[in-house]
Structure 1
Amino acid sequence: MFSKKRTFAAVALATGAALALAGCAGDGGEADPTFDPEEEVTLDLAFWGNDVRAELYNEAIAAFNEEYPNITVNATFLGFPEFWEKRQTEAAGGNLPDVMQFDYSYLRQYSENNLLLDLDPYLGDIIETDPLPENILSIGVVNDTTYGIATSTNAWGLFTNTKLLADNGLEAWEGGSYEDYTAWMAEVTEAGDGEFWGGADYTGRIQLLELQLRAEGGNLFNEDGTPGFDEARLTEFWESGQEIRDGIGIPQQTVEELAPLGGFDSAKTASEMTWDNFGAGYLAGLGEEYTELGLQAPPVFEEGAQDLYLKPSMLHTISANTDHPEAAATLVNFLVNSEASGEIFGTNRGLPASETALAAAELDPLSQQVKDYEASIADRLGDAPPVPIVGYGTLEEKFRVLGTELNFGTKTVDEAVAEFFSEMDVVLNQ
């Protein structure tokens, strides 16, 4: 049931092997000569989720305690917004939980404020690295220091409504460039005659701009926090969507009327580009008559470019102020790398990032489809981009709102570009 590789951590603890310590301030250091591997310790673990995920964590903690009976784990959970509200309060008071489920968009903010433990001294020792490919390990790196370990991953993809297409005698998109995809969307929209459309204006998503910039060899935001595009490049991007906004894509008014569902999970659009872990939510919205979806690579902007990347569904981090960094690292390793973790969580946290956990997970058909999809795009997967800047979520939402206004026709491209750069200036210089 348990990974043989994981016993390395137990051996290191049991023999009192010299471990490079990060200390409570997360600044690295020498081995702690006072460390007692059999000491009774208590760790606080915090995660977001619901009752289902809470029960899975309870099972995982019980399995962890079979191996490490001296480490007591007190787990608490909240909904996503409430989780981060509490973390902000705790951060201000210097009392963050020892181990935290963590969202990628907050990693830079917390690490640059010295709130997270440097995990590099534990990599390859307490935290196993063999089951984690380098492109996954690098996801948790900020300013050349590892602060988070990804529990699971997802990638950008193109979903298609296979039933809608088949019921109307339409062919699925066969792949190709953005121009090819737009032409296919137009054919589906014409066939739909106002009842359904080929898709939506993909230039309303900041992720598509990021993929195009990566295809050109750049980034959305560089490691130093500067934008990897200027006003002219954003203008070009938004202007490329004008053809879709002029009648190919689903009208914005229709989208507003369908809320809280979207065009795709209302069977009003035949395709949608988004993260590949959205499939279960789409099927739930579409209803029982829909049992499967198509999932394939998004359009190609530059042939041979490694524009796609694996994004963490979530990570695990350790507070810089933990009194028990070795025990906390042992818990993180178990939650990420153990066979027990894969067996218990399955894909509840996303497709497991650890090869050991993934091999132990029981995959439902949709999860198997995502696994096969991510294997199919291996040649297009590049290194993860720099960890999102502080305030990225604000800019992502602003981009979405401006895309909506472009679709309504209430703003011109030039006006939208000026407004976005004004907002970005505030965020980057706050």
Structure 2
Amino acid sequence: MTEELLVSVDGHIVEPPDLFLTRLPKHLRDRAIWEENLEIAPLGPDGRTQFRKLHTPGFEGWTNSAYPHFDGSPNTGRPERILQDMDSEGVRAQVMHPNLSFFGLYSDDHELSLAHARVYNDYVAETFSPHRARIAPTAPIPMTDVDDAVAEINRVAGLGLRAILLPAVSPIPYHSRELDRVWSAAQANGMTVTFHVATGGVKVSRAASPTLRGLMLTVAAQSQPINDNLVVDRIVFAATQQSLAPQQIIASLVGGGVTERFPDLHFVLVEFNANWLVSFMAAMDKAWTLGVGQDRDFWVGLWDDNRPEDDQPGMAQVFKLNERWPYPLRPSDYVRRQIHVSFQEDPVALACRHITGLSTLVWGVDYPHPEGTFRRTREAIAAQFQGVSAEDRAAILGGTTAKLFGLEAPIAV
């Protein structure tokens, strides 16, 4: 079988550990994100010795195994090594997001967040500009000040970056009309808008951010004996809580009319998986459709005996709201036209592709993170794409992403 070359929508740039210590304005450097390398005696049965320990408000002490390159050496984040890793997987091109920078970009301290964003955006523009055909870095934009957000979008467009990255949890709801200036700037500059899982909501005054608290619960669960409560809680969280953030984003963009007012703007939700998308699209349409069997004239409410019979504001035709959708297209039509959701391993999303629409699904490696498929990408694709046509494979595994981000399209080899 002819093997595709792939275009991933989800990679991460491992930044230099001292990037912000050396580049932030001097009065902010004592609060900069930085990492220290830990070389320790072998930990655990697999003998891990190389770790990275994070220092920043809300995430102090977050520690994880060092990410490896394809040959097992520690990831340096340098373009030439990233390209070698991509070649080892057959990944022709890749959209790449921050790594450790995520921990300081979207806090309630606007000055600190914006300073980190500007340093990061300058760094990726200068470092990856020679490789724009294969690597498309996204530009993080803090949402704590609309004027500064618009200014940074215009600035990074001038640096040659082609996509902006917004937090999954925003201090300003994405359906707020106040953000029309953000969407207008992105559309005018021909930029794709991306959102990444587990970003936003950081309060620098709190020792542990929501993401860090979630991590510690996960770590604690690993040492507990399996019991019914643990099993049930994990299932409920995976089936309901994990999809709340992306559903809120889509509901805001579609229900708030952003997709109607900015029809040329595309939105990519990264690393949320997509098995929930088909039911969410159906639920959005159902909320605004009068069913064949529903009585449009059925009234319900609370009767007020102290008011005239023809003046009962507590009563309403309960199904009439279903017919008051304010935009010309159905909610699901806007999703099919402008929304894209990424996955690494999600056979249910693939099985539903003809309902959600082919372009709504985009694929990513999540390089170099362990929850992704790096170093076993071909096996993951083979396991998921059995029976998927060559045309559909080409679109999901790279064609849509290449078009959205102006990357080299996948070609047969």
Higher strand residue share: 2
Higher helix residue share: 1
Give me the TM-score of the superposition, normalised by structure 1.
Answer: 0.26
Give me the TM-score of the superposition, normalised by structure 2.
Answer: 0.27
